Amino acid sequence: MAQTIDYDKIKEASAKYPKLKEINYTYGTAGFRMKAEYLESVIFRVGILGGLRSKKLNSKVIGIMITASHNPEADNGVKLVDPSGEMLEQQWEGYATQLANAQSDDDLIAVIKSIVSENGIDESKEASIVYARDTRPSGPKLVAALEEGIKAINVAGGNLGIKSTPQLHYFTYYLNYCEKPAEGSYEELADKLYYEKFAEAFHKAVGDNPCLSPIYIDAANGVGAPKLKELAEWINKINNNVLKVIIINDDINSQGKLNFQCGADYVKTGQKPPFGLTLTTEQRAASLDGDADRIVFYYVDENRTFRLLDGDKIAALAAGFIIELVKTSGLDINVGVVQTAYANGSSHAYLEKELKVPVACVPTGVKYLHHKAQEYDVGVYFEANGHGTVLFSPNALNKIHSAEKRTAEQEKAIKKLQALTELINQTVGDALSDLLFVEAILINRQWTFNQWNSAYTDLPNRLVKVVVENRQIFKTTNAERTLVEPKGLQEKIDKLVAQYKDGRSFVRPSGTEDVVRVYAEASTQKDCDELAFKVAGLVYDEAGGTGGRPSEFL
């Protein structure tokens, strides 16, 4: 039996990581995320919270990931992962915020005791945590703080080393719900299990169809570079003529390069290729983000126009292919798509009118998309930024994997569905799994990027960041499509939108940065850009813009 919590030991360890009194921490949609130098006390306390969560859940393994995803290299962050590989339960996000903001060691002990009492936690329960980090220079120091927190609460901790965020999510799930691994290094095992699973599933999904042209992968100079290289090697060990990737922006050792002028967020926001890549009309490309949990695809058409295939396009591709297989198979399975306000208006119309699939809109954040997607037999969710996955419910999995013998055509469709259930990382959005998922569909269809893109035409859109003094004053409703506060600002935005054909714009505070994001659509790119910059200027002028008014704001 494990020892009960030694509060004196926690208090002594906490003294090495005092809270910065001027900082107010909030556990948001992506956990804690900010400048790395502000995070040591927070991450020490997250180690303690992970131990409490594990004890509460009868010794299930909890995951902890140290990353700031697509943020600049100077930032870092941390988030907890529940046993199923999903994001931390919402009530416990509040506990994380309370712990992080405890002003003194005594206050910290009081919060811990309160969490134990409120949740009826048996302090003598065993507890276990696995943790990993991305490639940021601040990672090792923050891992050291995390390990001190884990030790302070007397919990078993497994260091997975440098991993992508989706790898940490998947391995957390695996340790809780799959066969317990034999003795060995968790760091090595987490890689092996991940590569083996997705390499084998990819080959099943592709079948005997011929390989497509090579695809250039911008790895954002992050963890996705070595992980994709190793995954591709596993795939090629089975068959070296099924996937051809050319990895660029793969420098994980030089400081200052992570996410700089590259990566999924840079490409999506700027609507242009990353630094170091000049595309011809024959080339296909995609960009990961810094922790490899999102991906966008792109190409240039015959007119040398840049064409982005973002999360909306991925969702449409995935939903269309799955619906076709379900119909062919004869299985009674429903399919639904979940989007956020950032989804292009044309995407929504295509899904509902052409594919005739139900579409739900939820607030931005993986937890909202994931939970809504669970309401369908097959739930497809992708944010426009390229983060997303496909969920197959237990009902769907049972029907797909236990289907009785049918016609040859039905049998073929069922086998494809079976392969897809293994190919997608259902715990969380995963750039590498999503890359293979998309590539498998395109190989099956023998489609070019242009054929994929031709399903529908995006309305021109623009995403603009506005730096503000306090993003917390922005409150939204209607799945974040309408501002409630600051009062009166939404009415002014509506008046601007009404001036443009097919105009749409909304404003929401970022969950990961000290900025407000402005999204706009209109029938032409000129009108879209004008609307976006007018709304951005309005926000800057009337809601505390700071850091110098950008010249493009109208």
Residue found by looking up tokens 């049972």 in the block: 398
Two structure tokens written together for 323: 């619906």
Tokens linked to 10: 């926690």
Rounded to an integer, what distance in angstroms lies between the CA atom of residue 198 and that of residue 306?
Answer: 30
385 in a known ligand binding site = yes
Ligand-binding site membership of 434 (annotated): no
Annotated ligand binding at 517? The verdict is yes
Q: Is 383 labelled a binding residue? A: yes
From the list 14, 54, 59, 69, the catalytic residue is 69
**Is 347 annotated as belonging to a binding site?**
no
253 annotated as a binding-site residue: no
Distance CA 324, CA 88 (A): 34
Distance CA 281, CA 284 (A): 8
For residue 140, cis peptide bond before it (omega within 30 degrees of 0)? no
Q: Is 384 annotated as a binding residue?
A: yes
SS3 of 80, please? strand
Q: Is 69 annotated as a binding residue?
A: yes
Going by the DSSP 8-state scheme, the letter that residue 258 receives in this structure is T
510 known ligand binder: yes
- Helix or strand run (H / E) with residue 538: helix 525-542
Q: Could you count the other beta carbons within 10 Å of the beta carbon of residue 3? A: 9
CB 427 within 8 A of CB 170: yes
Q: Per the annotation, does 471 bind a ligand?
A: no
391 within 8 A of 378, measured Cβ to Cβ:
yes
Q: Is 332 strand, coil or helix? A: coil
274 has binding-site annotation: no
Active site residue 505: no
| Token pair for 341 | 């306000």
Q: Which two tokens stand for residue 313?
A: 């396009």
**Which element (helix H / strand E) includes 506?**
strand 504-509
Peptide bond into 486 cis (omega under 30): yes
The residues annotated with a catalytic role in the active site are 69
Q: Could you list the residues known to form a binding site for substrate, using ranges.
A: 383-385, 508-512, 517
Q: Could you list the residues known to form a binding site for Mg(2+), using ranges.
A: 69, 289, 291, 293
Q: Could you list the residues known to form a binding site, using ranges.
A: 69, 289, 291, 293, 383-385, 508-512, 517
